[in-house]
């Protein structure tokens, strides 16, 4: 897991590196996490992209709630951005990327054809925050293992184009963006999916926020996984959520001397299960989810 300290100087450099690459490409492929499309989105993305055509990929869709993913596709559609759910590990959805990229560029391609020009391969850059799956996707599209995984400060090397099939070419190094960590809720969500290191936020806090959301939005999943008979729903008090955590800890044998539940261990169990998809397909953010948003914001 990469933990990058995003000091202002790093952000400025990352932005400059991406903007240099934008000059070389026709379309930016923005990789988001399907479980948290807003929290995994760079806060300055519109500004950084300088009106470059864009395609959004909702990666790790295998772990996200399919109905909510559909809502997100519609949400981006309303913003005029084409979005596609994919699983970069198995390759599900990946084959549609060249077609979607060409569709996003159809006006430009049609104009070239009208002028009698033969359109060359569409050139693309993959951008996204750390751990969203950029290298996995590049390797998947390239059909082989590409060693380079992003920009290392001080290392200058020529850009390589990778043939990604269907007249699509990719730059071999992705553009690395920073997340919105000034927002605490975003931090908890990114930590819940394992996108930022467990050393940064306390696991008990991260698991508490996640459990509060899941017990409201996906109570049946919790009941089934941990054989619980009762899970508090919307508007649960903090001690009710801690009660659920304790019940999970007891089921999983996370006890400390004296017989009480070791909440840190129970928290790790919940987070491991959530990240590994053992709680089912869960989306932590939804476009229309006011009450769900509040479930995370109020504490």
131 is in an annotated binding site: yes
CB of 272 to ligand GDP, least distance (A): 14
Closest residue by Cα to residue 6 from 153, 119, 125: 153
Cβ neighbours of residue 239 closer than 8 Å, sequence gap 6 or more: none
Q: What are the two backbone dihedrals, phi and then psi, of residue 170, each rounded to the nearest 5 degrees?
A: -120, 145
Among 88, 241, 282, 296, binds ligand GDP (CB under 6 A): 88
Q: Which residue has the tokens 């988001």?
A: 32
136 is in an annotated binding site: yes
CB of 136 to ligand GDP, least distance (A): 3
- Please report, as residue ranges, which positions from 26 to 85 form the binding site for ligand GDP (by CB under 6 A): 59-60, 62-63
- Please report, as residue ranges, which positions from 147 to 176 form the binding site for ligand GDP (by CB under 6 A): 149
CB of 176 to ligand GDP, least distance (A): 8
Token pair of 235 as six digits: 């508007």
Does the protein bind ligand GDP through residue 97 (CB under 6 A)?
Answer: no
CB of 88 to ligand GDP, least distance (A): 4
235 is in an annotated binding site: no
Residue 18 vs 241, nearer CB to ligand GDP: 18
291 is in an annotated binding site: no
Does the protein bind ligand GDP through residue 267 (CB under 6 A)?
Answer: no
Whole-number Å distance between alpha carbons of 177 and 41: 9
Residue 91 vs 219, nearer CB to ligand GDP: 91
139 is in an annotated binding site: no
108 is in an annotated binding site: no
Other residues' Cβ atoms within 10 Å of the Cβ of residue 80: 8
Instruction: Determine the residue with CB nearest ligand GDP.
Output: 133
135 is in an annotated binding site: yes
Residue 87 vs 216, nearer CB to ligand GDP: 87
Among 39, 40, 135, 173, binds ligand GDP (CB under 6 A): 135
Other residues' Cβ atoms within 10 Å of the Cβ of residue 278: 12
> Which residue ranges make up the site for ligand GDP (CB under 6 A)?
2, 59-60, 62-63, 87-89, 128, 130-136, 149
Binding-site positions for GTP = 59-62, 131-136, 175
């Amino acid at each position: 897991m990469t933990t990058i300290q995003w000091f202002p100087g790093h952000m400025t450099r990352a932005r400059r590196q991406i903007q240099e690459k934008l000059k070389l490409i026709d379309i930016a492929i923005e990789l988001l996490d399907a479980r948290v499309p807003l929290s995994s989105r760079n806060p300055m993305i519109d500004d950084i992209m300088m009106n470059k055509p864009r395609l959004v990929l909702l990666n790790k869709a295998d772990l996200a709630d399919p109905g909510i993913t559909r809502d997100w596709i519609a949400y981006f559609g309303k913003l005029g951005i084409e979005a596609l759910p994919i699983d970069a590990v198995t390759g599900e959805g990946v084959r549609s990327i060249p077609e979607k990229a060409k569709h996003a560029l159809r006006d430009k391609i049609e104009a070239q054809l009208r002028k009698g020009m033969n359109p060359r391969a569409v050139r693309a850059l993959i951008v996204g925050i750390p751990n969203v799956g950029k290298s996995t996707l590049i390797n998947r599209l390239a059909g082989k293992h590409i060693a380079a995984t992003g920009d290392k400060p001080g290392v200058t090397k020529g850009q390589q184009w990778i043939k990604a099939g269907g007249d699509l070419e990719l730059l071999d190094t992705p553009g690395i963006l920073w997340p919105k960590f000034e927002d605490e809720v975003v931090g908890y969500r990114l930590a819940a999916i394992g996108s930022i290191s467990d050393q940064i936020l306390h696991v008990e806090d991260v698991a508490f926020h996640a459990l509060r959301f899941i017990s409201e939005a996906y109570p049946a999943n919790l009941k089934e996984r941990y054989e619980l008979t009762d899970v508090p729903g919307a508007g649960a008090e903090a001690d009710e959520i801690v009660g659920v955590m304790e019940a999970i800890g007891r089921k999983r044998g996370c006890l400390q001397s004296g017989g009480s539940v070791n909440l840190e261990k129970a928290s790790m169990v919940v987070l491991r299960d959530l990240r590994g998809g053992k709680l089912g397909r869960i989306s932590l953010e939804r476009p229309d989810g006011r009450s769900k948003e509040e479930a995370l914001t109020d504490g």
